[in-house]
Amino acid sequence: MSNHDHYAPKLPQFAEQIIYEDDNLIVINKPPFLASLDEREGGEPSVLRLAKKYHPDAQVCHRLDKETSGLLLIAKNPETYRLVSIEFERRRVTKLYHAIIGGTHVFEDVLVDLPILNLGNKNVTIDRANGKRAETYFNSLRYFKHFTLVECRPVTGRMHQIRIHLATQQAAIVGDALYHGKPVYLSQIKKRGFSLGRGKEEQPIMRRFALHAHELRLTIGDKACHFQAPYPKDFATLLRQLEKYDD
């Protein structure tokens, strides 16, 4: 028996992330903390790098923030990459994200259409004069005492769009420090019977912001496609704890 299992990388294997594959397309459920494309620093793995090991001609068709989990489309050939890119550019892709936000917020097809200016170096701001058009629809899916599960449908695809648009509604995503979203601790929602070992520092239930790319609909060539990605473990755990202690 080999003990090489002990040295398995922390990131899940690329093939295990695939939720759909055909001759032209790979669809993965991207784990959190994995960059979509190579970051300038080099070293760390990215979806693009892992995909190319799996299929040499792979190209990532769009991107998710490093901490965001969920659906990512990867083309296996230049023609598919071109077709998918056109759909995104023409805003013909329906993208549904799920986010957990602080506070109880009733969103019923609420449209936030505040222009976003990209300042470079992963900084964006709302700028009505110089920003680019940005539109997101929000629908509340599930209410808890102190939190809300929200479906977000961005029409445009600006950097940090969902995150900053929610922040403008005083509804920052939990754990999104950049936009003043606070992490959720079990001690905060489980008032009774919570204890932490001596000398231990409590960690948040989720160590990132709670945003997941849940569903995609698009037409590639003449083929209608609909993909759904289940919640990753951390997102599912946070929801389960809210259902248990904050309902």
Catalytic residue set:
65
3-state secondary structure of 8: coil
Q: How far apart are CA 122 and CA 179, in angstroms?
A: 13
Residue type, position 192, single letter: R
Non-local (6+) Cβ contacts of 189 within 8 A are: 146, 241, 242, 245, 246
Q: Tokens 């204890």 correspond to what residue? A: 195
Q: In which element (H, E) is residue 54 found? A: helix 47-54
Token readout for 145 is 């005492």
Non-local (6+) Cβ contacts of 118 within 8 A are: 124, 132, 158, 159
